[in-house]
Each structure stands twice: as structure tokens, then as C-alpha cells.
Structure 1
Amino acid sequence: MAQSWIHAQASARHFGGAPEDYIAIHEWIDAFKAMVGDVTHRQYRHNSHGPWMAQEVFGRTITNSAGKQILVRDIAENHIVEDLGWLPSPADWSACLTCKVWMGGKRNKFIGREELLEQALPHPNKVHGTQPEQELA
């Protein structure tokens, strides 16, 4: 994962130590690239909950090769901000989700494949008529 290595190099410049000190955290953050081959992989861990999940996996701190203790959440937050320019919440990501009928669960009637593909439900948290970028401005 070349991009993860670039993040690891940035962490080494920012926090000290070597890129190898940070690569596991950055590869974990980007792990959904293996399943989702585009930028939408970021919705899973590139959000305000991602750094907390990283802390659960890697511990509260790591000690880099320079002997300095670094907060894992700081490393993860820096990765997200480097990629997106800010730290969105999971709700920010889900506001961009187009809800489909099948997402509501089992129905008492048969729903054909074509009907599933064509129908979309409004997102309950999305402000109608605006895009998230417009809301931030």
C-alpha cells in the first residue's frame, strides 16, 4: 500500500522516529482499500470514530524508534486530515449515502431486483436540496 507508506513517512517527519514505527497503523486505517477500490473505502475508518478504533487495536500509545511515546489517536487523526482536510463524523459520511429500499430489511412482499436498483429512499439525516460541501461553507 504505497499511500500508507507516504502517511508513515509523514508521521515520522511529524512525530520523529522512522516510517516503520507507524506503517501498521496507516495500513490498518486504509485496510478497506482491499475491498473497495476507490475513495469510498474512507467512509469506514476515515472518520472521528476511526482514531478511537485504532486505539483499541494498537493501544493508547506507541513508542517510536526515537524512544518517544506517541498517542495512536493523534497518528490516526493526522492520517485522516492529510487525506480529507478535516475530521468528518460517521454521520457526515452516512449523510452522503443513498438509501435503498432493501436497506430497510425484510418486507412482506417480494421485491424484484430491478425494483431494488431503481428505488431510493430519502436519507433521514440529509438536508434535502443541499450537498454536504455547501453546508460547510
Structure 2
Amino acid sequence: MHPYDHARSSVKLHGGRWQDYFAYHHHFDSSKSTFCHFTHRALKHHTEGVAAAREIFGDHIDNSDGVSVSTETLGRQHLAEDCRILPSASDWVEGFEPPSWLPCLTPTIEDLVADDVRRFGGDAEIYHPLHDWFYQTKTWVDGPAWFLFRHHAFGVFQAEERFGPVLGAADRSAVPTRVVAERHIQRVLGRTPPASEFLRRIKGERWMLQATSPKKLGLD
């Protein structure tokens, strides 16, 4: 479904206006810009993605009726309406065929941070959260499929959404988040691939494309 329809469904469940929820649901569906295929949902449509969205939108959204709605509840709604189940990240990568160019060894976070300090200046604490965020997906799945979720060109923009346009104080010492994020990916993978290079390797399953319709939800 379109984010507008997910938002209207949220109104039916929690009140308020569709505008209260649109940005949240758009966040999940923005991955379609990387690959116009149902497998784009692998980037955010899972329980780990719901938790990650909480880091951006907070624990609750206050709608126009003054009701505080849990973002976890909204995320689970979105997943159920698009997949009919609540998949985990590991569900998406069953049968995933990793490309041969993925590295066997990766730099440590400490090495990546030290490189940024040398290149851009500032304190290590400016850069550490971003590199930790990229490596967070190691805990989501077993094997090399963890690169799929953030180590690509779309991941650069995901990082900017998460950390804002710059790292550090918003003055001369600030460094564009995109610059640091792309440098991270290049240091880890040797290049910055499009997300589609990973997504086309996902083995499609019926549950991945069983989105409901506005009509079935009683919205039309």
C-alpha cells in the first residue's frame, strides 16, 4: 500500500488525521526508491526496522486528537498490512546469495573513527555513533547478509535521516553526514554499491508481497 493508505489506516485505529502518521509510514516505504520491486521491503520492513524507526521518531507520536500512539504499534501495523506477518530481518535473507566481492574482514570501529579524525578533525565521539550504527546490523542476521541493510548508496541517506545533515556542532567544524557515511562504506566494501545489487539476490517468498488493499481495510 501507499504510505497515505497506511496513514489512513492508522487514523481508523487511533484517531487523528492522516497527516499525523504519513512521515512515519513514508519512512518505511522510502526504500522503494532504491529498487521498484517488492524486495525493497527487506531494508526496513522487519521488527529490527521498527526498532530503528523509534530512534528517528521517538517512542510515541501525538496525533491531532491529543492521543499518544506508540511508534512500535504503528510499525507493526505497517508490517502486517504489507506482509501479513511480522518478519524479522533474518526472514528476508533466507536463501540470500551474497556477492563474491563482499569482504571477509572489516575494519574495526576504532580504526574507522581514527581515520575520520585524521581526515576531518574533531573528537572521536563525533564519529563513533555513525560507525556503530552501520555495524549494528551484524546482530540482525547470521552471515554476510548483514551488509544488505545499510552498506550501500541508500544507506548513506539512511544515515543522514538518522543523524541529521552534519556530524558535530553546526559550525565550521561540522562534517556532512553523507561524506562520512560514504567514506565508511568505501572503506568497508571498497566501493559504494546501489542497494539493488543486494536486493536482487533475495529469494522471493509469497509473504513478501501479500500487501492488503485500502478496500479490504474499509478505507475506500
Q: Higher relative CO (CA 8 A, sep ≥ 6), structure 1 or 2? A: 2
SS in 2 for 1:101: coil
Q: Which amino acid aligns with 1:49?
A: E
SS in 2 for 1:49: helix
Please identify, of 80-89 and 91-100, the stretch whose mean Cα deviation from structure 2 is larger: 91-100
Deviation (angstroms), 1:98: 1.7
Deviation (angstroms), 1:54: 1.1
Where does residue 42 of structure 2 map in the other structure? 43
Aligned residues: 111
CA distance in 1, matches of 2:34, 2:43: 11
CA distance in 1, matches of 2:8, 2:89: 27
- Answer yes or no: is 1:73 the counterpart of 2:76: no
Where does residue 87 of structure 1 map in the other structure? 86
Q: Which amino acid aligns with 2:32?
A: K
Where does residue 99 of structure 1 map in the other structure? 98
1:1-137 aligned within 5 A: 3-105=2-104
Deviation (angstroms), 1:77: 1.0
Give RMSD over aligned pairs.
Answer: 2.4
Q: Which amino acid aligns with 1:31?
A: S
CA distance in 2, matches of 1:26, 1:96: 28
CA distance in 2, matches of 1:59, 1:51: 11
SS in 2 for 1:97: coil
SS in 2 for 1:86: coil
Structure 2 runs not aligned, ≥5 long: 106-141, 144-203, 207-220
Q: Which amino acid aligns with 2:81?
A: E
Q: Which amino acid aligns with 2:71?
A: V
CA distance in 1, matches of 2:95, 2:205: 8
**1:59-99 per-position Cα deviation (integer Å, ceiling 9, x unaligned):** 11011001100001110110011000011111111113122
CA contact (8 A) 1:62 1:70 kept: yes
CA contact (8 A) 1:8 1:23 kept: yes
CA distance in 2, matches of 1:100, 1:86: 28
SS in 2 for 1:50: helix
CA distance in 2, matches of 1:78, 1:34: 22
SS in 2 for 1:102: coil
- Aligned-residue sequence identity (percent) comes to 30
Deviation (angstroms), 1:104: 4.5
TM-score of the two chains, using structure 1 as the length reference: 0.73
CA distance in 2, matches of 1:36, 1:29: 14
CA contact (8 A) 1:96 1:132 kept: no
